[in-house]
Structure 1
Amino acid sequence: MVFKLVIVFVLLQQVLAERCTTPNNEIGSCVLLYSCPALIKAISHQDPLSIQFVRLSNCGGSGRNPMVCCGVASNFTVPIDLVTKKVQTETTTIETVTKRVEVKNATNSLIPDRRFCGYQHSDDYFRENYNTSEINEFPWLAILIYKKNSDIPRPTLACSGSLINTRYVLTSAHCTKQTEDFDLKLTAVRLGEYNIKNETDCVNTTGIKECSDPAEDFGIEKIIIHPNFVKYDTKHDIALLRLNRTVTYTDYIRPICLPFPGTTFAKVGDTLLISGFGQINSSTHLAEIKKKIQTKYISDEQCAKTNGDSLTKDHFCTKDVRDNTEFRCYGDTGGPIIFSHKSQWHQEGIVSYGFSGCGSYFPNVHLKVKSYLNWIEANIEP
């Protein structure tokens, strides 16, 4: 029933829209790009002429909501005089959106599906204590599981990561390399964890009992480390983990959005969030329940006073809020630092390191994910 209503709405929109002429001289209607099946099909072809046809179909709107002259023909041939015509403003308007749709429809997709990524149910209801994590919060958080190369069979948790699509987890390169010096081998990734002591987690929120699905462990099929990463260096500290099977999204396992073009980024003074199962405030004990850490974006100048020459253009810094109950600490590196815009979260950075321990007195240094989007896209396989 809902689907039929959507179809009726789209058809009604086209009837009421202004008449126009498409690049192949068909009489059409000026509508939103996403309401034009023929042009969405053209974009999905990934053919340069089809993309050019969409750009030349512009009839108004904005960069976020472009309008196009929509017809029904599937022939996307563009007359030569229109190809050579200078239409810089119109082309720019459509280009931003066509790139976004191209990536969405590509098999090797950089951007997680916008229908699922970055949403968490904990944003849908009121909470009395914002400083502690909810059972369905941070559904993209991944725990990296290591085993001793010795005879000790007990798994060890030492780093975090973030789920970015159904087969890949994003983390720090040092989480895959430097652990070897501590007799640890990265063997698996755990998703959907809330309390590491329980197989199934249950909580009472506003008088309603909620139980999560059991956490899932995934083997690692492939570890991809940035080629310019040097062990014990902070530059290019990024890696991808290809899981050995496809992830099924649930309320407790869901990908984080990546910072695609058009993302509203955090700025100095904004509050971002970090989560993980690292040590509790410099103690030797790991967190049993996933942490929730509020941290403020600070300027490069302020961060450089502590971290000096180790910062590059691919880094940014935050400082944990003093009234937090938990802070970024050992074991939280490799995880995502996230920012929300209109209740949809995206990953601004990868938690890389902190100066001289953990706590609110020392800045946290993060690798900018947007600096490595091309590298991520080039290394993701279907």
Structure 2
Amino acid sequence: MADPRITLGLGLLIFGLILSAEASPQGRILGGEDVAQGEYPWSASVRYNKAHVCSGAIISTNHILTAAHCVSSVGITPVDASTLAVRLGTINQYAGGSIVNVKSVIIHPSYGNFLHDIAILELDETLVFSDRIQDIALPPTTDEETEDVDAELPNGTPVYVAGWGELSDGTASYKQQKANYNTLSRSLCEWEAGYGYESVVCLSRAEGEGICRGDAGAAVIDDDKVLRGLTSFNFGPCGSKYPDVATRVSYYLTWIEANTQ
């Protein structure tokens, strides 16, 4: 599997852009709509010291995927698992559903500069699935074998994201929000943002809409309700003219399987 390399100059540029966006684990979807109860039952509110910081996606009765930067202390060293929990089975980030503690955290060993921005949370108890708590299907292994994001997600593929946070007017929303995107090809993402890596999926949306701080880790799903990505970061201010970036889940299927047995 190809491992994308980032030059020092590009790394510093991306780092500067991320800092200008204040990419940190507190987020929102701009221009979103309210989610109905049970519409995104694989969604998790990832909580640090009891406060919502990021989103996550349930992939089994014991595991949740999220963005690595949400649970990183320094580099690939995670925060103490005892400080983490998830709220499941509700669209209200403040109430309802159930709180489940996190037992352990595994950050991808190549994580850095927002590349390979993926982590696995092992839960302290086994989930009981219901109409409000379910897992999301992972991509087929054939998508990992192609190593080609354009073959898996051709340019313009509709995808969907749901997360918690502030609304477009800057006020905080207690209710989960959803938004529609279209994928960009690697060449177009390289052209528009200089970020055409095999391990990411670039997301196109109207200016003034999109992910912002803390929607990181939210599931990016397709029409078949397959987990295609995890939201990672945005360039410049939230809702800028540049595409948003998600970690491409199929790129990591072997790693996910090895660490969720």
Give the TM-score category using the shorter length: 0.7 to 0.9
Q: 1:215 aligns with which of 97, 113, 123?
A: 97
Unpaired stretches in structure 1, ≥5 consecutive residues:
1-129, 148-154, 200-213
- Distance in 2 of aligned mates of 1:179 and 1:217: 26
Q: State the match for 2:39 in structure 1.
A: 137
Q: Which has the larger radius of gyration?
A: 1
Aligned residue in 2 for 1:340 = 223
Q: Which has the higher helix share?
A: 1
Whose strand proportion is higher, 1 or 2? Answer: 2
Aligned partner of 2:54 in structure 1 is 159
2:108 pairs with one of 226, 229, 251:
226
Alignment equivalent of 1:292, drawn from 174, 178, 188: 178
Query: Which residue of structure 2 lines up, in the alignment, with residue 169 of structure 1?
Result: 64
Alignment of 1:1-382 (within 5 A): 131-147=33-49, 155-177=50-72, 186-197=83-94, 199=95, 214-230=96-112, 233-261=113-141, 265-281=152-168, 283=170, 285-308=171-194, 310-321=195-206, 327-341=210-224, 345-359=225-239, 361-381=241-261
Q: TM-score, normalised on structure 1?
A: 0.53
Q: Is contact 1:279-1:331 (8 Å) kept?
A: no
Contact (CA 8 Å) 2:165, 2:174: kept in 1 or not?
no
Higher normalized contact order (CA 8 Å, seq sep 6+, divided by chain length): 2
Q: CA deviation at 1:221?
A: 0.5
Distance 2:98 2:48 in 1: 15
Q: What letter matches 1:315 in structure 2?
A: V
C-alpha distance in 2, partners of 1:223/1:261? 24
Secondary structure of 2:220's partner?
A: strand
Following superposition, the deviation at residue 297 of structure 1 comes to: 1.0
Contact 1:229/1:236 (<8 A) preserved: yes
Please give the secondary structure, in 1, of the residue aligned with 2:65: strand
Q: Which amino acid aligns with 1:162?
A: A
**Cα distance 1:131–1:179, how it changes in 2: closer, same or farther (>3 A)?**
farther
Query: 3-state DSSP class of the match of 2:257?
Result: helix
Q: Distance in 1 between matches of 2:69 and 2:259?
A: 18
Q: Distance in 2 between matches of 1:321 and 1:175?
A: 26
Whole-angstrom CA distance in 1 between matches of 2:91 and 2:74: 24
Q: Does structure 2 retain, via aligned residues, the 8 Å contact 1:162–1:335?
A: yes
Contact 2:186 2:198 (C-alpha < 8 Å) held by counterparts: no
Tell me the CA shift for residue 179 of structure 1. Answer: 8.8
SS in structure 1 at match of 2:173: coil
Aligned-partner Cα distance in 2 for 1:134–1:140: 13
SS state at 1:288 partner: strand
Residue type of the alignment partner of 1:177: S
Q: Distance in 2 between matches of 1:327 and 1:142?
A: 19
Q: 2:16 is matched with which residue?
A: none
Paired residues of 1:280 and 1:329 also in contact (CA < 8 A): no
* Residue 361 of structure 1, CA deviation: 2.4
The answer (yes or no) to whether the contact 1:266–1:339 under 8 Å persists in 2 is no
Q: How many positions carry a matched residue from both structures?
A: 218
SS of the aligned residue for 1:278 comes to strand
| CA root-mean-square deviation | 2.5
Task: Give the aligned partner of residue 109 of structure 1.
Answer: none
Amino acid at match of 2:52: L
